[in-house]
Every structure is written in C-alpha cells, then in structure tokens.
Structure 1
C-alpha cells in the first residue's frame, strides 16, 4: 500500500470551542460534497491523503492553528458532516481519537452492510496500516488517532496521528490505497519533519533480511526466545549492539506477557513478516525483542 506522507506538528492540549467545531462541520461537509460532485469520491481520498492539502483544508474551515488538534478536530468535523450523507456521496468514515479509534472495526462493518463490501477485508486493512506505523516503524510516536475513510467501491485512505511526549510534538501519517504495494516493504512515499535520532524501521528495504529472521524466530519454541532474550538483558559476555537497535531496559519487559505472545506466534507459524505483523498481540515490544534476538543469534 502507499503511504503518501507525514506531517509533524506541535502537540497542544485542550479542544476547539463548540461554535468553531460547528462551523468546521458545515464548511468541511460542503467542500467534501463539492469534490464528490465535481470529481467523484476517489478524488476526496486523494486530497485527504495529501498532508499539505489536508493542512490547508483545516485552515480554510477555520482551524488556523498549526497544532496536533487540527487533525483530530478536522476529521471529527468531516465524520459528523458525512454521518447522514455517506450513502448518497459514496463516501464512508470510521474511527477517530482515543477510545473512538477502537470503534473503527465495527463502524466499518456497519457501513459495509449498506454497500455490500467485504467489511472483514477493510477491517484487516485498517488494523495493518495502524500496526505498520505503530509497531513496524518505531519512530518515537505512539498512535492515538486513526481515521479510516473509504468509497463504495472499496478504495480507502487513512489519516492517523501519534504523539511524542519527550519533545511535545505529534506526527500525522497519510495513506492511500490507490497504488497497491506491500505493507511491509517501503510503503511510504514521503516523509516530512524531523526524525528521532534512534528508531527501528522494519519496513525499510534494508530490513528485508531482518524481516525473514524475525519471522523464523517467531516460529521457534517460546522458551528458546526467552533464553536468548534473558542473555541480552543480563548482559552476559562482551556483547555490543549497534546503534540502530534501541536496547530497552529490563523494566520495559514483562516476561510472562512476552512469553505468552511467543507461544501464540509459535502456534500460528506465520509464513511471512506481514502475516506475523497482523497477528493479535504482536506489537512494538514483541518486534523489538525479536530484533534483539536476531542480532544476538545472527549478527
């Protein structure tokens, strides 16, 4: 799949006043409607997936602060504006900020009942897009917002956002399904803003071998992985890890929980990295642990 870009914004608290949100809802709804009439719903996906156009839309409808709140407020306004017009326009939305983002799967299923689309497929797409930016690409930003918009013919776009508490910034990620590529091989077409000095990027082309090794390790008996991981945490021997791998402290690991995930991956025997990434409970900590084991075992 294609991620079309990112935007890095200052992280601000609070929320937009009610009067502003109501105006944003009215204006954004009219703009989206005009785009659907003039160019079709697919063009709306293209526009929303452009981080610059999205930022401009937020300013045009009244949110003229260059902060993290533009993302959550604008997508919320669009969702309200399209609530009773989705079927008419052929454009459906799901998700949002915090707890609302967890309702995304059910909201997709509900919308698909009206369109006849395969809701299960779109739900899996939504989950996998979120996992790529949260677990496979660990750049210091934890996702707290996920907005999924799709057309009646199954095309989709995603706008999701994460926060970095250390430097009080938020990063917005934009995705578009128009160009179908691999989820786990450089799915991002552009990145803007400053990157953290350290991170783990398992979807980079240079990580192909790491993906293969991690998938193989995940299929091993769980006790083997736990022994290797314990060796790393206890610092036995003269082991020096390269800078590209962030070594997390002992308190970051809950051994029993991690072992239960290894049991799950052993039972499932994922055939490739994308399948492994899609497994329930396989998140950032699991992939970091497997990355460290891969470095220890294979160098």
Structure 2
C-alpha cells in the first residue's frame, strides 16, 4: 500500500549544537536497534520511507517538526548511528558533494554484505534513477541538494532525498521504497513531503505520461535534427528548416542552443531503448525532458501529466479531509511504533522521557 503525506518544511539554516547532535546519534541508533529486532530491517526501511513516521522520528530526536533541517539532521544522525554489523543496514550519500559519493557507498555496502556485481549495479542504477526522476522528470521547482540511499543486508533499499525552491525558501522531501512500486516511471513514490502544492508541475513519472515517454524516445531515435523547427530562435536567425515548415505548425516559445542540440544528437547515436535509458544519458536534464514532453503534446497530441505529485499538507488540507484525507490508521501506527521503540530503547530514563515529551508536543 502506498503511503503518501505532506509536511511543512520551511528552510532553516545552521547546525544543531554538538551536545544535541551527539544525543540524536545515540537515540536514533537505539530506536533503530529496537525496530530492527522487533520488526526487521525491511520494516525499518518501510518506516523511513513513510513521511508520517519520518517526521515524528525527527521530532523525537529533538529537531523542529516543521523544519527542512529535519531531513539533513536526522539522516546525518542515522549515518553516524547505523552499524552494518549490528543493524544490517548501510546508509550512503548525504548533502551536497556527499550525495555524489552515493555509488561508491553502495559498492562498499555490496562488499560488506556480499552482493553480486549485478545486484550492486542494480542499486547504483536505482540511486541514479531516483535522483534523476525527482530532479528532472518531476519539474516542481525544487532542485535536489541531498540524496540518501539505505540498503539492507538482504538487498532491500530506500531513498530519502530533498530539494530546495530558491524563491520561496521551502524544501520538498521525496521518499522511495524498493518494493513500493512496479516501475520507476509510474507513480513510484511512497511519499512526497512539502507544504506548497503547485497548480501545474510537469510530472513525467506519472502513469498518465507513458505515451509522452514513448514519443520522447522516438523523437530522439528518429534523429533530433528535425526538432529545431518546433522552436523559436532567440536571435531571430533564419534556419533552413524555416523555409520548409508547413503553414500550420505549433512552435514552442523557447529555444535549445546548438550545444544542447549536440546532447540530443549524442543521445540519438546511442539509440536508447526506453525512457529510463534516455533520462540517464549524460546531459539529458530538465530543459530537454520538458522540450520533448511539449512536442509530444503539441505535435502528436499525447500530453504529459501536469499534476503536482504532492497530495496534501497538514496545514493546507489533510486534517479537514481536503483535498486528501489523512490516513489516521497509518499515522497512529507510525506514532505508536516510535513511542514503543523509545520506551524499549537502551538509553537513560531522562532521555526517554524527553523523547516521549517531544513526540507528545508534535502530536499536539
């Protein structure tokens, strides 16, 4: 069952004090140990990929419930506390430059857990795809700045990553679970958390975009040189194709530079077999994905989805049932699991009481 939720994530800067972060590391490790022993490693990943649980977990550790920093700090604490031998879980990636080291981290996990090369390659590909989808295929005005990949000794994985909207200073968190979807490009998320819902956002990972995906691949494999006729030139320079265009022809009010067309030409030479292969090619970013989607709609009558994948928020919906009701059973189960884990965790009594108090404050 897909678990989807939204929380308010205004951007908060700075770092938690050392004394607090040290306690966050200890508490996150203690809670993880209880959950893994009681429910198993896979269930821990299911909970991490559940926005309700993740938000309450962050609150218990001691961070502001509504801050974007819950993602960075909570995952930072987990990266310190997770022990591949004790928990059977490895966390790679991180914020900024650390996110680019995720493939190396996955390979390291593969060595520790004894995965076959094919399994390691599969997970590295999953890491790249989840990042590319949330940064380029879903064009919701949030740019990824951190990527975190969890993997268990049995080969299950989860992704938690976050993007920033530079204009409104809000963050959006994306959750993935390896067994939570059938295809990477067909409504794959277990949750996307953000307070802001866009009126329109290109979503090439929506099942409604399947035909647009196929046409995008066909447009590339049929030589992208003919795509120039669908764009206006910023410098009003006339092209040879301008003289051969039909009288009635849709034209996009934008342009792709010669350098960008070279990227499309390089993709044509490779001849990608499907949309996953296409979007993973070097240089295929948001602008080119958007251009191909627009041509699919304007020329071939196959529109992509423009529905923002965020479903609802605590402050702008949810609690009053609009536009999507809160799943109370899932929410309550998440809270109860954390509370039980805190109570059973091997930490000092006063730390337990403080953690439970923070959870109660979050609920109220």
Alignment partner, residue 87 of structure 1: 85
SS at match of 1:111: helix
Q: Which moved more, 1:99-108 or 1:180-189?
A: 180-189
Contact kept? 1:261, 1:286, Cα under 8 Å: no
Change over 3 Å in CA distance of 1:98–1:6 after alignment to 2: farther
Alignment partner, residue 360 of structure 2: none
Alignment partner, residue 218 of structure 1: 220
User: 1:216, CA displacement in angstroms?
Assistant: 0.5
How many residues are paired up?
289
Change over 3 Å in CA distance of 1:280–1:185 after alignment to 2: same
CA deviations over 1:149-185 (Å, ceiling 9, x no partner): 0101110111110111221110111111123401111
Once the two structures are superposed, the pairs formed by residues 2-151 of structure 1 within 5 Å of their partners are 4-82=4-82, 85-117=83-115, 118-151=119-152
User: 1:190, CA displacement in angstroms?
Assistant: 4.9
Tell me the distance in 2 between the aligned counterparts of 1:89 and 1:279. 35
Q: Which moved more, 1:151-160 or 1:263-272?
A: 263-272
CA deviations over 1:14-73 (Å, ceiling 9, x no partner): 222222211111110111111112221111101101111111111111113411111001
Contact kept? 2:164, 2:170, Cα under 8 Å: yes
User: 1:132, CA displacement in angstroms?
Assistant: 1.3
C-alpha RMSD of matched pairs (Å): 2.6
Alignment partner, residue 164 of structure 1: 165
Specify the structure having the higher radius of gyration (Cα): 2
The alignment's TM-score, normalised by the length of structure 1, stands at 0.87
In the alignment, structure 2 segments of 5+ residues that lack a partner are: 302-364
User: 1:249, CA displacement in angstroms?
Assistant: 5.2
Tell me the distance in 1 between the aligned counterparts of 2:272 and 2:91. 31
Q: Which moved more, 1:21-30 or 1:276-285?
A: 276-285
In the alignment, structure 1 segments of 5+ residues that lack a partner are: 242-246
User: 1:217, CA displacement in angstroms?
Assistant: 0.7
Tell me the distance in 2 between the aligned counterparts of 1:274 and 1:296. 23
CA deviations over 1:178-215 (Å, ceiling 9, x no partner): 23401111223555543212321112222222111111
Q: Which moved more, 1:171-180 or 1:94-103?
A: 171-180
SS at match of 2:86: helix
Alignment partner, residue 244 of structure 1: none
Change over 3 Å in CA distance of 1:189–1:23 after alignment to 2: closer
Change over 3 Å in CA distance of 1:64–1:262 after alignment to 2: same
Alignment partner, residue 270 of structure 1: 272
The alignment's TM-score, normalised by the length of structure 2, stands at 0.73
Change over 3 Å in CA distance of 1:43–1:170 after alignment to 2: same
Question: Whose strand fraction is larger, Structure 1's or Structure 2's?
Answer: 1
User: 1:80, CA displacement in angstroms?
Assistant: 0.9
Tell me the distance in 2 between the aligned counterparts of 1:15 and 1:248. 43
